[in-house]
Every structure is written in C-alpha cells, then in structure tokens.
Structure 1
Amino acid sequence: MSSPSAAAAASSSSSSTRPEKKATVTVRLATVEDANNDVVLGQIHSVINRAYRSEGGWTTEAHLVKDERITKDELKEALVDKINPILLAFDSETHEPLGTLQLEPAEFYPDFGVYSKEGYRCDYVEQLPKDKQILFGLFSVDPAQQSRGIGRKLVEAGLVYAKESGRKQALVYVIVQRPELVGWYKRLGFTDFGEKVPFPDAGRLKDDDVHFSVLRLAL
C-alpha cells in the first residue's frame, strides 16, 4: 500500500502534467447594454484605438492615418446601430472585450469615389446588386491578445450572419500599405481582383497615396 505522502506526490505529479484549460473566445452581437455600460464602452473603445493607432496593433494604421479611429460618442452610436450591427469578441473567463467587427449592408455604405491613379486598371466587373453584398468594417483585435484566433472567429461569425441575412458576397477594404493583412484575408478565402478605392478623408493621412484594396468572398 502506498503511503499518503507518496499518493499526494503522485497526485501532484499528475496535476502538474495535466494541460491547463485555456479561456475560450466567444462572439456575439453588441447590445444596448454594452453601449450604456461605461466600463464596457471604455474597454471596447480602447481595444479599437489600440488596434488601429498603436505600433503593436496587428491592424495598425498609426504610421498612415492621424487621430482616433473612433470616438467614444461615435462608438456608442455604432453599438446600437441596427442597420450596421457590431460583433464583439469576449474572453470567456474575464468577460473583457477582445475585438470587433461591424457588419455593413453595402447598399448603405458611402461611396468613396473612383481610384484614378495613372496606370491603374481593374478588370473586375461587379455582378451582384448592392443589397446582396455586405462589408466587414471596424475590424479590430486587442494587440495584447493576438494569436488566439480572435480575428478568424470574428470573420467566421460575420460570414454566418451574412449568409443568414441573405447576402451573397462579403467585402473588406484593406489599406494597400498592409500587404500582410491582405494576405491574411486571402487565407480566409477572400480574393483580390486588383480593385481599389480612395481613402475617404485625405486630411487625416500621413502618406500621399493611402488607398484601399477591395477583397471579395462569394457566400
């Protein structure tokens, strides 16, 4: 018969080799409660602006675009927007927000105009009406929580929402100076046809030729 100390040691050894349970990531649509909770609102606001405006952000535009990505007042309005709902990613243990993705019906999206730089040519011909397309915008992942699959979970949830809403194509606008982000979307199935659109607010730019590549995914 083994001694109590030996049994305890065996138990300790077993528990030390048992893999730790990792917190999962959950994704859901934003609610009025999120918008009205100052703590949650502040956390989401911080995630977005650190993702877009800090040097460590995976989706950072800090070297290209000035000012905040979104103000708290703008975010509060966006969180309760029923036409352009926002998906939120949360840590299942801490319940802190980890990322965002806005789902924007293309028929309501503003026209950024035509990209017309000399030598530019795109042979892509749009086949679907706008009300069959959906744009994924305000995509952010907490820079301190990268490599947890948060971005993929958000996009996958967005694609499910798009299909259930009767959309036939998803679009993303990616700043051309972020080729690694373009590559990430391609690995998720999006296609770059060479289509480009201008950046809408030139006064906020730090670079002379910041514009978007348009990537598309058939649903």
Structure 2
Amino acid sequence: MQPITFRRAAAGDVPALVGLVHSAYRGDSSRAGWTTEADLLDGQRTDPEMVAGAIADPAVLVLLAEAGGAPVACCQLERRDGYAYFGMFAVDPLRQGGGLGASVLSEAERHARDAWGSAELRMTVIVQREDLIAWYVRRGYARTGEISPFPYGDERFGRPRRTDLAFETLTKRLA
C-alpha cells in the first residue's frame, strides 16, 4: 500500500475533489463504503463552484490526502470565531474502514490546533447518520444536542428522500 501524503488543495484539484466527495456519499458507487447517504439523499453533495470557492477562501483549508499522487480523501477546515469548523470530509469508498478517515481527521485536528491555534473543532452531521456520529464519538467528539435544519429546497446540497433530515453539531476540545 502506498503512503498517504497531505497537501493543500489547489484550483486544479476541483474536478477530482467533486468526484471524490460524490463517490463517498451519493449514488451506487458510495455503497461500496459505509459513509453513503444514498438512502437519504439523491443529487449532488457539492459542486465545482462550492469547492473552488472554498479553495480560494483564505480562511479555509481544503486538505487533500493522496496515495501515489491520486486523491483518496479530503476535508475542509474553516477558521471561525473562536473555533475551527470541519466539513466536506470524504474518503474513497474502496478505502473506507482501513484507518484512512481517522488519519485525515487527526491531521485536520492537528492543523486547526497547531497552525491556527484553535482550541475547538466543530462539525455538523445528519442526525439520521447514527453510525457516523458514533464513529466521531469514538474519536472524542461530543454530541451537543444542538440541531439545525437541513437546507430543503437548495439542490446544491442534494435532493432529500425524506422529510425529517436535520443536522446535529458535534464538538471536540483540541487544546
């Protein structure tokens, strides 16, 4: 197995990142891994404009994990007031379950703490994704009970297959 390297994503990585995120969450390809949202949502998970905007934003780091020069995982970190926000986390479905996701999460936590001085990392997870929430809890994240609505009607985030989707905020102290 090839070693994993991390780097900041660049504008030229946009198509690969969009494909990676889509493959991890939507459609039949996502069913090869355990992070699929295909039973909850159809449509896109992100689009080139959103990814390009994140890469261009100086308050954002889009972290790309590669093996042999090929993208295998990614995440997005945003500097916010008093904490860092973690999102757009995706691992190639064929590489899920082998520790790659935990490595990416650890690298994101390290960067937020050491490079940005963030004492806390927050994220939101669809409440129906109990398996994913449990994965984060095993890595030290706490459920806050803070629920926010799913953006129904905004197809940039997918087409919901059910009417009860919502997000819960998870948090972890880094310092």
TM-score over 0.5 (shorter chain): yes
C-alpha displacement at 1:23, in angstroms? 1.4
Write the deviation string for residues 63-89 of structure 1: whole angstroms up to 9, x where unpaired.
Answer: 222321112233233223221211111
C-alpha displacement at 1:158, in angstroms? 1.0
Choose from 96, 111, 115 the match for 2:70. Answer: 96
Look up the SS of the partner of 1:85 in the other structure: strand
C-alpha displacement at 1:194, in angstroms? 2.1
CA–CA distance in structure 2, aligned partners of residues 75 and 46 of structure 1: 11
RMSD (Å) for aligned C-alpha atoms: 1.7
C-alpha displacement at 1:208, in angstroms? 0.8
Look up the SS of the partner of 1:70 in the other structure: coil
Look up the SS of the partner of 1:82 in the other structure: coil
- List 4+ stretches of structure 1 deviating above 3 A: none
CA–CA distance in structure 2, aligned partners of residues 212 and 202 of structure 1: 16
Label 1:193 to 1:96 Cα distance change in 2 as closer, same or farther (>3 A).
Answer: same
AA aligned opposite 2:145 = G
Look up the SS of the partner of 1:55 in the other structure: helix
Q: Is 1:216 matched with 2:175?
A: no
Aligned match of 2:8: 29
Write the deviation string for residues 142-195 of structure 1: whole angstroms up to 9, x where unpaired.
Answer: 001123322111111111111121211111111111111001101111011322
Choose from 139, 151, 160 the match for 1:188. Answer: 139
AA aligned opposite 1:149 = G
**1:6-155 counterparts in 2 under 5 A?**
22-31=1-10, 35-36=11-12, 40-53=13-26, 54-91=30-67, 94-106=68-80, 131-155=81-105
- The higher radius of gyration belongs to 1
C-alpha displacement at 1:52, in angstroms? 1.4
- State the aligned residue count: 166
Contact kept, 8 Å, 2:31 with 2:93, in 1: the verdict is no
**1:160-175 counterparts in 2 under 5 A?**
160-164=110-114, 165-175=116-126
Contact kept, 8 Å, 1:133 with 1:169, in 2: the verdict is yes
Contact kept, 8 Å, 1:30 with 1:87, in 2: the verdict is yes
C-alpha displacement at 1:202, in angstroms? 4.4
Aligned match of 2:149: 198
CA–CA distance in structure 1, aligned partners of residues 144 and 51 of structure 2: 32
Structure 2 residues not aligned, in runs of 5+: none
Contact kept, 8 Å, 2:60 with 2:78, in 1: the verdict is yes
CA–CA distance in structure 2, aligned partners of residues 50 and 193 of structure 1: 29
Write the deviation string for residues 12-46 of structure 1: whole angstroms up to 9, x where unpaired.
Answer: xxxxxxxxxx3121222223xxx23xxx4332221
Label 1:211 to 1:202 Cα distance change in 2 as closer, same or farther (>3 A).
Answer: farther
Look up the SS of the partner of 1:207 in the other structure: coil
TM-score by length of 1: 0.70
